[in-house]
Amino acid sequence: MKKITVTSVPGFDEWREASRACLAHGIRPEHVIWQNAHSVQDDLFGHEEQTQATSNFQIKHTIPKSALALFKYALCHSDTNRFALCYRVLWRIIYENKNLIQLKTDEDIMQLYALAKAVKRDAYKMSAFLRFRELNNEGNEHFVAWYEPEHYSLEIKLDFFQTRFKNMRWSILTPYRAAHWDTETLFLEDNPDPSVVPDDDRIEKYWLTYYANIFNPARIKTNAMLNQMPKKYWKNMPETSLIDDMIKQSGARAHKMIIDGNKH
């Protein structure tokens, strides 16, 4: 048994190094135990040596690009089993079937796609639902956001935020890590302090006004809304505080439209 402890999150680089080392030694997936630093616990086979996750072996295996892309997403999932799953798929691609990744009815592949899909969705929702607030900073615009992704989605979306808000100073804080951008360089900080996020923003009232008025009370489809924007996202989206009242008053507002129409 070989035990590998990944100490960072999401842990892509460490996983890759360790996987290379394991492949070089020909260690089969069922002989590796993967764990996160914060989830280390004594296991039944606790008698074997701890190996550092590094390697000098340079063995070239050809892995399809599509597989690497999938690993990248899947490894940002919060599920601790992600390391073992990815290594197992890697092993099977090399020794069993180089087209394995196409076999979308294979159990491992289905699981891999499921992890990647969950991360993609989570990351997409982050780019959609994250809200910046302006920090009052003596004329220097600085935008700050607090967001709680389900997975390690910050790393997936860094490119997006850097591209879109390139000439803007911003900070995105998540429970595990913050990213600070000063228009030129990116600075990452682990376990940031959420209290630096402003409670309000001078533009938010206009956003709320817009949200309340762009909605058509004659067409209530709460389920369609909840499918796309489940309640777990609501707490950091200021406009969601209006939803209950909007739904409650919609009947009366739609009715009024018809009454007004009948007046003539």
- Find the shortest distance in angstroms from Cβ 244 to other proteins: 9
Burial class (CB in 10 A: 0-12, 13-18, 19+), 260: exposed
Question: Which CB, 60 or 221, lies closer to other proteins?
Answer: 221
- Find the shortest distance in angstroms from Cβ 18 to other proteins: 30
Rg (CA), the chain: 24
Question: Which CB, 40 or 225, lies closer to other proteins?
Answer: 225
Find out whether 144 and 171 touch, Cβ atoms under 8 Å. Answer: yes
Question: Which CB, 188 or 224, lies closer to other proteins?
Answer: 224
Question: Which CB, 63 or 212, lies closer to other proteins?
Answer: 212
Task: Say which residues have a Cβ less than 8 Å from residue 186's Cβ, sequence separation at least 6.
Answer: 158, 162, 179, 180
Question: Which CB, 79 or 204, lies closer to other proteins?
Answer: 204
Closest CA relative to residue 66, chosen from 19, 10, 113: 113
CB atoms within 10 A of CB 9: 20
- Find the shortest distance in angstroms from Cβ 189 to other proteins: 20
Handedness of CA 24, 29, 32, 36 (dihedral sign): positive
- Find the shortest distance in angstroms from Cβ 34 to other proteins: 26
Rounded to 10 deg, the angle between the 82-95 and 12-24 helix axes is 40
| H or E element, residue 2 | strand 2-6
- Find the shortest distance in angstroms from Cβ 241 to other proteins: 12
- Bridge partners, residue 180, by sequence: 171, 187
Which residues are near other proteins by CB under 8 A?
99, 102-105, 110, 124, 127-134, 141, 143, 145, 160, 163-168, 201-207, 209-211, 213-225, 227-229, 237, 239, 243, 246-247, 250, 256-258, 260-264
- Bridge partners, residue 36, by sequence: 6
Question: Which CB, 16 or 98, lies closer to other proteins?
Answer: 98
